[in-house]
Amino acid sequence: MLGTFALVEKLKKTEEEYNLFAEGYKDLHFKVRKKEKKIRKLDKKIEKLESEIRNLNKEEAADKNKLELKIENYKLEIIELTEGIPEAWIARNKEFKTIQKSKNTRTKRYRKNVDEAYDNLDQIAMFIQDHEKLDALSPQINELKYTLNNNDYEKSISIIDNLFERLGEISGTEELANKLDDLFSILDSDDVNKGELTIASSDMFNLFNIENSWRKDANKNLLPELMKYNLVIKNNIGLRRQSKLTKEQAKIVARCNSVHRDVSLNF
């Protein structure tokens, strides 16, 4: 999250550079694009006349000469328009594209950063809030430990199947599910390797205890502060990640979108 503030400063600086450059570039851009638009229209007229010439018969030489004369006049007009484009245009346009690309890149980087930061916060909060669901599995985990110690592998497999189903409803338990899957694979083999079973079961039980412990502690000591923090940032850097806008936010967005924005420099 701290890196976000550095990105904000860089984005502000880039936007200032963009706005400053755009002020002096706007008139040049408008004049050149206007000439280029006229050139494109003349090119289309020339194409149309050339098509008419191809459709003429040999006997229509006079008509052909008239059309060719028109084409020459259009070409001369194009040359005049082209020569009227300032020499600085290519360099200035290239410089604008560089500044615009930098602005777009930093805007995307900033948005990605704040979105990921908010998503991580939201995800951690979800993990913590699911602590009761995870803790509710403790009796089954203890039962599994008992059946394994007593070499009741068939019962152990049944318990693991049930745990898999319940873990699917608890956020952030993918690693625990993988540990259970490893344990299941060992138990489901024709000849159970006791050494592998001991290691796999120990890994799974240790991970469950760690997950259950930190979530319990976080629910008591961390979650209240996370909720306060979320209230502060949800309507600014977290706004893009909200499921829906508040009524007041919707009015503000509607007003913003109803105002004309000049995007002519992008074309």
CA atoms within 13 A on the CB side of 253: 10
pLDDT at 260: 47
- Write the CA distances from 168 to 40, 159, 164, 165, 185, integer angstroms: 61, 15, 6, 5, 19
Compute the distance between CA of residue 267 and CA of residue 252 in angstroms, rounded to an integer.
Answer: 28
Compute the distance between CA of residue 106 and CA of residue 93 in angstroms, rounded to an integer.
Answer: 20
- Residue 151, domain member (yes or no): yes
pLDDT at 240: 53
Compute the distance between CA of residue 57 and CA of residue 53 in angstroms, rounded to an integer.
Answer: 9
- Residue 93, domain member (yes or no): no
Same domain, 71 and 136: no
Compute the distance between CA of residue 267 and CA of residue 264 in angstroms, rounded to an integer.
Answer: 6
Compute the distance between CA of residue 193 and CA of residue 187 in angstroms, rounded to an integer.
Answer: 8
Say how many C-beta atoms besides its own lie within 10 A of residue 206's C-beta: 11
- Residue 118, domain member (yes or no): no
Taking a C-beta distance cutoff of 8 angstroms, is the pair 71, 49 a contact?
yes
Same domain, 138 and 208: yes
Measured between alpha carbons, how far apart are the two ends of the chain, in Å?
35
Range of the domain at 173: 131-226
Compute the distance between CA of residue 37 and CA of residue 43 in angstroms, rounded to an integer.
Answer: 10
Decide: helix, strand or coil at residue 79. helix
3-state helix, strand, coil in the chain (%, to 5): 85, 0, 15
| pLDDT tens, residue order, the chain (267 aa) | 445 667 777 878 888 888 889 888 999 999 999 999 999 999 999 999 999 998 888 778 888 899 999 999 999 999 999 999 999 999 999 999 999 888 888 878 777 766 666 566 777 878 888 889 999 999 999 999 999 999 999 999 999 999 989 998 998 899 999 999 999 999 988 889 999 999 999 999 999 999 999 998 888 888 777 777 566 555 555 455 555 555 665 555 555 554 445 556 765
Same domain, 81 and 135: no
- Domain boundary pick from 23, 53, 86: 86
Backbone dihedral angles phi then psi of residue 161, each to the nearest 5 degrees: -55, -45
pLDDT at 205: 96
- Residue 188, domain member (yes or no): yes
Domain count, the chain: 2
- Residue 169, domain member (yes or no): yes
Taking only Cα atoms into account, the Rg of the chain, rounded to an integer number of angstroms, comes to 35
Compute the distance between CA of residue 9 and CA of residue 7 in angstroms, rounded to an integer.
Answer: 5
Same domain, 203 and 147: yes
Same domain, 78 and 139: no
Token pair recorded at residue 237:
């850097």
- Residue 55, domain member (yes or no): yes
Taking a C-beta distance cutoff of 8 angstroms, is the pair 177, 164 a contact?
yes
